Structure 1
Amino acid sequence: MNRTMKAAVIREAGGPDVLKLERLPVPTPKRGEVLIRVKAFGLNRSELFTRQGHSPNVQFPRVLGIEATGLVEAAPGGEFEPGDVVATAMGGLGRAFDGSYAEYTLVPVSQVKKLDTRLAWEVLGAIPEMLPTAWGSLFKSLRLQEGDTILIRGGTTSVGLAAAALAKRHGAVVAATTRDPAREETLRRNGADQVFIDNGALAPQIREVFPCGVNKVLELIGTNTLLDSLQSARAGGVVCMTGMVGNSWSLADFSPMSAIPTAVNLTTYAGGSEDFMRTPLQDFVELIEAGEYSPHIGKTFSLDEIVEAHRCMERNQAGGKIVVLA
């Protein structure tokens, strides 16, 4: 008798209600694949965009979810033992093939990391995409160095808070932004030396504190604030666009010669399964266990509450990473 599992399936683009709980067959793994019993996963803005119909390469029906943590159910190639605690992210998960919004997910063995930990699932579920995104943005795209000044635009996002903590540990001077003055203390607890209240035109404020501009800018809002962030960087500095909290993918009438200041570098970070596998997740887990770093979790939901979880994400009401327990 074939086993079935609960999964949130999207068959057409639309609002949160298009995510429907269904019963699907539990996938059967073959060599080179790992069947994971999903225990927790974080929500991501890219999943919101896909649900809204802004990911033309994603074919429906689809089970969304680009990251997962859980227990190995089976690995026919012997790369993992049943019961191993693992994490996975990217590499087509939830886009080219069914993802983590389910009780089980089937992924290539090449994008699964074993973790030695007893952290609670709601904590583990927050990190597979968040920490690699922060780490990759800082050290791959921005090439952050000790002593750098870095502006994190969108500082109260889950990636922003993680990036601030990592940058501070690396010896950088950290400035972070928020639109809500009440969030200043949260930013400072997570490593921000300087907090700016973001009114959309931040560059003049930055120049008051850092007259020459900052060395590095991590842009997590997106195209809505990118041009202003470019004006915040000093000559020779780097701006990395990683996030799109502002829900805008492109710039109208983009003129590079006028938009990008002389000698300021613009790059991006998208991440992928190779970047995920290179990220020292086990080191992060040990930092969390030692109490030296705490991922900022906003709200947790059950898989049965996936529609409400997406509503929360769409309204920016979580105040941190949204984690779903499967």
Structure 2
Amino acid sequence: MRAVRIDEFGGPEVLVPVEMPDPVAGPGQVLVRIAAAGVNRADALIRAGLYHRAGRPPLIPGVEAAGIVAAVGEGVSELAVGQRVMALDGISAPGFYAELAVVPAERVTVLPDGLGLTEAATLPVAWLSAWYCLRSLARVTKEDTVVVKAAASGVGTAAVQIAAETGARVIALAGSAERAAWAGEFGAQDVLDTSAFPDDAEVEEILRLTDGRGADVVLDTVGGPAFGRSLREVGHGGRVVALANVALEPSTVDTRDFYPKNAAILGFQLTNLQIHGYDPRADLRELAERVAAGAYRVPVETVVPLEEARAAHERLASRDNRGKIVLAVADL
């Protein structure tokens, strides 16, 4: 099979196209023929040797994909050859930058009719993360005001739509006027270009937009110094959900920014959630059905061939993409 492999940690240049033996599904496993693989920041961390479960090279990155079931291992009865599926696997290797991948059956979800494989390949990480954080952790309702940071990212555009569908008021934050305006197209009532505001002014603007009350929910997809601002932007009894630290910097927290408000800090990390028993299939099925029904729009910005994974990672590193980046593996 064709694959993209990492033989040493480093920058995008270490993503090397190779030919490898076809994998074989063992007991409890499914062999998936990959049509498309999503490109995520987790993949970049794996490539750089910064991902907490990456293991050592040689390895294949890629934690989400969509394709066709090519074979099932012993004991797998809920899946059949030929079914269209999406797969999520940030726990074990190999990854999905390949024509074939072996995946535990419990990490494979059958797709509904009407959902394309390219769009499906983007759901298991960014969309599922936004879905779980807003519905299961923050429990967003129509009464809430929700701040979404990095709202033009994959998680951000998903979160804006999921929150808006509940009837909540959404305030979308992005790092340029163009990205903020684009995020507003997904249902945000207010947009904020954070590049135009010094740090404290961002907090003041959120408080102004909420008549001084602060937000009910802040979805912090940035981390680092932004997390401290999130604590100041949340209101009484509010919830701050932390699900990333793309800033790769420490967060300095003043407990006086949240405990007097009886605010809650909720952490989310998808891989560890699965390790500790979360089965994502029910959530992914519901999410996929809503996308197939047209309730949500999945923005795919860039699609590049598998062999050009390096270019995909360079695009991701620019932090200028609007929507998801996808590797096209095969036309299935």
Is the shorter-chain TM-score for this pair beyond 0.5, marking a shared fold?
Answer: yes
* 1:187 Cα deviation after fit: 2.0
1:153-206: per-residue Cα shift (whole Å, max 9, x none)?
A: 111111111111111111211111012112343222201011112134311101
* 1:118 Cα deviation after fit: 4.0
Tell me the equivalent position of 2:206.
206
Equivalent runs, 1:101-250 vs 2, <5 Å: 101-198=97-194, 199=197, 200-201=199-200, 202-210=202-210, 211-246=212-247, 248=248, 250=250
Which structure 1 residue ranges, 5 or more long, are not aligned?
none
Tell me the equivalent position of 1:30.
26
1:87-123: per-residue Cα shift (whole Å, max 9, x none)?
A: 111351xxx3111011111011111111122433222
* 1:12 Cα deviation after fit: 1.4
Contact 1:84 1:114 in 2 (8 A): yes
Cα distance between partner residues in 2 of 1:121 and 1:186: 24
Question: Taking structure 2 as the reference length, what is the TM-score of the superposition?
Answer: 0.89
Which structure 2 residue ranges, 5 or more long, are not aligned?
none
Cα distance between partner residues in 1 of 2:38 and 2:132: 18
Tell me the equivalent position of 1:66.
63
Cα distance between partner residues in 2 of 1:186 and 1:66: 27
Cα distance between partner residues in 1 of 2:253 and 2:130: 28
Higher helix proportion: 2
Q: Which amino acid aligns with 2:149?
A: R
Q: Which amino acid aligns with 1:307?
A: R
RMSD of aligned residue pairs (Cα, Å):
1.8
Tell me the equivalent position of 2:39.
43
Contact 2:153 2:321 in 1 (8 A): no
Q: Which amino acid aligns with 1:238?
A: R
Cα distance between partner residues in 1 of 2:267 and 2:279: 14
Contact 2:5 2:15 in 1 (8 A): yes
Q: Which amino acid aligns with 1:285?
A: A
Question: Taking structure 1 as the reference length, what is the TM-score of the superposition?
Answer: 0.91
* 1:6 Cα deviation after fit: 0.9
Q: Which amino acid aligns with 1:150?
A: V
- The answer to whether the aligner puts 1:308 opposite 2:311 as a matched pair is yes
Cα distance between partner residues in 2 of 1:232 and 1:24: 50
Contact 2:38 2:325 in 1 (8 A): yes
- The answer to whether the aligner puts 1:322 opposite 2:319 as a matched pair is no
* 1:269 Cα deviation after fit: 1.2
Shift in CA distance, 277/284, structure 1 to aligned 2, threshold 3 Å: closer
1:256-304: per-residue Cα shift (whole Å, max 9, x none)?
A: 534545222111111244352231x344334333333211212111101
Shift in CA distance, 275/238, structure 1 to aligned 2, threshold 3 Å: farther
Cα distance between partner residues in 2 of 1:171 and 1:32: 41
- The answer to whether the aligner puts 1:290 opposite 2:287 as a matched pair is no
1:124-156: per-residue Cα shift (whole Å, max 9, x none)?
A: 222221221110110122121221111001111
Cα distance between partner residues in 2 of 1:56 and 1:284: 27
* 1:52 Cα deviation after fit: 1.5
Contact 1:38 1:71 in 2 (8 A): yes
SS of 1:62's partner is coil
SS of 1:217's partner is strand
Tell me the equivalent position of 1:277.
281
Q: Which amino acid aligns with 1:61?
A: P
Aligned identity (percent) is 27
Contact 1:11 1:62 in 2 (8 A): yes
SS of 1:130's partner is helix
